[in-house]
Copies of this chain bind each other. A is one copy, B any other.
Amino acid sequence: MAIEAADTAWVLISSALVLLMLPGLALFYGGMVRRKNVLSSMMHSFVAMGIIAVEWVIIGYSLAFGTGNWFIGGLEHVFLRGVDLYSVSGTIPTYAFIAFQGMFAVITPALISGAVVGRIKFKSYIAFITLWSLIVYAPVCHWVWGGGFLTGEALDFAGGTVVHITSGISALTILIFLGRRKGYGTDSIRPHNITLTLLGTGLLWFGWFGFNAGSALAADEIAALAFMTTFVAPAAAGLAWMAIEWFRTGKPTALGFATGILAGLVGITPAAGFVTPMAAIIIGAAAGSICYGAVVLKGKLGYDDSLDVFGVHGVGGITGALLTGVFASVGGTGLLLGNSHQLLIQFEGVAITILYAIACTIIIGFVIDKTMGVKIDENAENIGLDRTQHGEAAYNI
């Protein structure tokens, strides 16, 4: 079968957009940590580009998209065996498909890093994401998109479950081994440069058009729809967050608005190509509000998910996955069109993924903690990870 040049162009540029989300994420997170941890935090995203990209072509792709069974793909594409220049996936070259999917594999573990900033050993982080990508990401990706037991059942347009729920839940779970940062809750822990975070937000939104609209895997009407929903949902989410914050604290913060946008991007991800723009506004507003609540709750409960990976990606992903089951009206039908079954399936997909992510993260965390240790010592935490883990200072005179 021949490829479609237009679809190829679209998926390639979408892949590049998703790659740009990594520096975007690095800035988004990096701006929120203290000066002494900014390089460490950014390196979490960058090193994921190194490790997971290589791991993906060696084995990850095969595990996720190889034929395999209901649970996991086979090993037939290890080292990209069986793929060559003329292999085709749908209407695009398989290489384009592998690259596009590889970007998703890269960003997912990097998302987790927001929870662990300022106190995780760099080598343990590397070990963690390497294992996690194989043990959690590859199977869940296979379930939902690669021919596993949820494929064709659960609606997940661009990765609400595969990307955001897995990472958000695992972020919360890994805290078992990390606890809080020293000084948590005092003014000595404030975002060191919110302009970086805003720039990161901009790059993330930009890249997310590739993430969501690219997931149509063709330059067609569905891509246009997904583009449109990815435009309005984060807008609505940012406004919702801002409105609540303004009302509750008297000030609409820039950081809050940025977080709201992100919540909206997460929330619309599973629904992007399945719902109308108007439904997208509702989903966005819901994601913004609910994530706001989750983040407030965190503050009350006192666990230190430092940059709110759970509150935004976990909660936002769950919200989006369930609301997809409510609002789906394009290429699938949800509750509002009378298909309550879909909501059930969505719920099932979410629940299984949550349990699986928790279990695996505990095991991986436990193994790493026992072998190389997860948390750095207090003195190193005081001095900062940039200096102690990387031997650098981000800012010099």
The interface of chain A, by Cβ under 8 A from chain B, is: 3-10, 12-13, 15-17, 19-20, 22-24, 26-27, 30, 34-35, 38-40, 42-43, 46-47, 49-51, 53-54, 57, 79-80, 84-86, 92-93, 95-96, 98-99, 102-103, 122, 190-196, 198-199, 201-203, 205-206, 209-210, 213, 218-225, 227-228, 231-232, 235-236, 238-239, 242, 249-255, 257-258, 261, 276-278, 281, 330, 386, 389-397
Contact = CB atoms under 8 A, between A and B. Distances in A.
A397 B188 CA distance: 8
A46 B191 contact: no
Contact of A95 (B38, B40, B225, B396): B225
A198 B46 contact: yes
Nearest to A47: B257
Contacts of A95: 221, 224-225, 227-228, 277
Nearest to A394: B194
B219 A5 contact: yes
Contact of A257 (B27, B43, B227): B43
21 contacts: A5-B219, A6-B6, A6-B9, A9-B9, A9-B13, A23-B201, A39-B254, A43-B254, A46-B198, A46-B254, A46-B258, A50-B239, A51-B239, A54-B232, A57-B281, A85-B330, A96-B227, A99-B224, A122-B252, A192-B396, A249-B391
A224 B86 CA distance: 10
A195 B394 contact: yes
